[in-house]
Amino acid sequence: MKKFGFLGRVISHGITLLLGVLLTFSSLRVMSSQADTIASTTGNERKPTQIALQEQGNKAVKTSTSFVNAAIAKTGPAVVRVDTERTVSQRVDPFFNDPFFQEFFGDRFREQIPQERQVRGQGSGFITNKSGIVLTNAHVVSGADRVIVTLKDGREFEGQVTGTDKVTDLAVVKINPQGADLPVAPLGNSSQVAVGDWAIAVGNPVGLNNTVTLGIISTLARSSAQVGIPDKRVDFLQTDAAINPGNSGGPLLNERGEVIGINTAIRADATGIGFAIPIDKVKAITDTLAAGKQVPHPYVGVQMISLTPELAQRNNSDPNSTFLIPEVEGVLVMRVMENTPAAQAGIRRGDVIVSVDNQAIKTAEDLQSLVDKSGLNQTLKFKIRRSDRTLTLNVTTTQLAQMS
């Protein structure tokens, strides 16, 4: 693919800055013995940890009214460990099919090589309904042949994956309580979360069950592209509460012990930067996944970046640019995928999308959000700047195909 000259270098530089993002899923082939120390926190804006010593005879008794302790007592029993097993086929080295090899060793040596191997993984989750509905990440249970759900009190249940959605990285696992009384995690409202609010992460990082870490909400609505996983369609909550491999699928709680998000990913190149799926997004699709149905994700089929007049001007002044870009604010089409609504509508690489259905488009996030909210099989009017022309093209959304 030809580069855009200056713009191409900007894009290339930007991509190098999007360093790896780790989905917080733990493989049991690698374990850690690292222990973490959790510091007490105080503040005038929150009720501080209060420890009172009461004399009972000659004996001192310590009592705690920590909001963290109260939150975990409320929700902790509903947090579970999710263990998975899956069978992976191994590719036989072509060397073993070589006639020279077979002449001297025959097939017996090759038959001794295992053709399959078992891979085990571990993540977290939480129960949201006494009927046995467990929420976790899609990447925790993806491809699993067997799922075991273990409660904090030691009870184990076989789990059945009823639905996964890789676009939002969410999954529902169903367990049969068999008459047992299951603890349930109360769900909060992520729309009411503010930067600076307390954030409590609960899960099973690096195999250390029932681990609790404390931090704050660092940022709201961090886009998937900013996080470094552009194939997802989620605006994440960012937190500095410690999240590690094995935390995937576990809850992020507010100070009242309500679930405000599902812990999902961390930045591999940083410390104290973790991401959670807002619980309001989870609520919107849980019933669909529990019923085994496909979550609708409208799609038009373009790869894009946000464009400003300044960026376009700098590209146009570069003598190595392959063509000129309209010096406007909008979304620059970097690639049109084959056999997609955008291709069928006549959108081309280098077009600038400036509005959809008369709504101004200033960033790639604006366009993605509008398409997401439009619904399936909806015809949208794209206003396009192409060189010195302005075009209006009708684009009909379709379902995004999820990669296996």
**Per-residue confidence (pLDDT) for residue 64, from 0 to 100:** 58
Annotated catalytic, 248?
yes
CATH class of 296-399: mainly beta
CA triple 118-119-121, angle to 5 deg: 145
Q: Output the CA–CA distances (angstroms, integers) from residue 279 to 16, 189, 287, 307, in the order listed.
A: 31, 7, 13, 31
pLDDT at 60: 52
pLDDT for the residue numbered 390 = 93
* Structure-model confidence comparison of residues 9 and 313, the more confident one: 313
Q: Which of the pair, 376 or 210, is modelled with greater confidence? A: 376
Could you give the CA distance from residue 186 to residue 69 in angstroms, rounded to a whole number? 16
pLDDT in tens, 250-301: 999 999 999 999 998 877 777 788 899 999 999 999 999 999 998 899 999 9
Res 65: pLDDT = 72
Q: Do domains 19-27+64-88+125-295 and 296-399 have the same CATH topology?
A: no
Question: How confident is the model at residue 289, as a pLDDT?
Answer: 93
Band the pLDDT of 13: cuts 50, 70, 90: very low
Candidate list 26, 218, 224, 248, residue with the active-site label: 248
pLDDT of residue 243: 87
C-beta contacts of 35-42 below 8 A and 24+ residues apart: 35/208, 36/211, 36/213, 36/242, 38/212, 38/213, 38/214, 41/214
CA distance 292 to 312: 46
Question: Catalytic: which of 169, 240, 351, 366?
Answer: 169
Distance CA 284, CA 66 (A): 32
Residue in 83, 124, 139, 235 annotated catalytic: 139
98 is catalytic: no
Q: What does the pLDDT read at residue 107?
A: 59
User: CATH code for 19-27+64-88+125-295?
Assistant: 2.40.10.120
Average pLDDT over residues 188-208: 90
Residue 329 has pLDDT above 80, yes or no: yes
Strand partners, 21: 267
Cβ-contact 217, 193 below 8 angstroms = yes
123 burial via Cβ count (<10 Å: 0-12, 13-18, 19+): buried
* Cβ burial, residue 7 (10 Å; 0-12/13-18/19+): buried
In this predicted model, which residue has the larger pLDDT, 27 or 192? 192
| Least confident segment among 12-21, 43-52, 129-138, 236-245 | 43-52
pLDDT of residue 286: 92
Q: Do the Cβ atoms of 184 and 77 come closer than 8 Å?
A: no
pLDDT band at 129, cuts 50/70/90?
Answer: very high
Active site residue 169: yes
Question: What is the pLDDT averaged over residues 108-115?
Answer: 58
Angle at 353 between CA 347 and CA 356, to 5 degrees: 100
pLDDT of 310 reads 92
| Range name among 89-103, 181-195, 233-247 with the lowest pLDDT average | 89-103
Take residue 43 and report the two structure tokens written for it: 């503040």
Question: What confidence score (pLDDT) does residue 40 get?
Answer: 35
Rounded to an integer, what distance in angstroms lies between the CA atom of residue 125 and that of residue 359? 39
Cross-strand bridge partners of residue 187: 259
pLDDT in tens, 20-65: 566 666 654 433 323 333 333 334 444 434 333 344 444 555 555 7
Domain coordinates in residue numbering, the chain: 19-27+64-88+125-295, 296-399
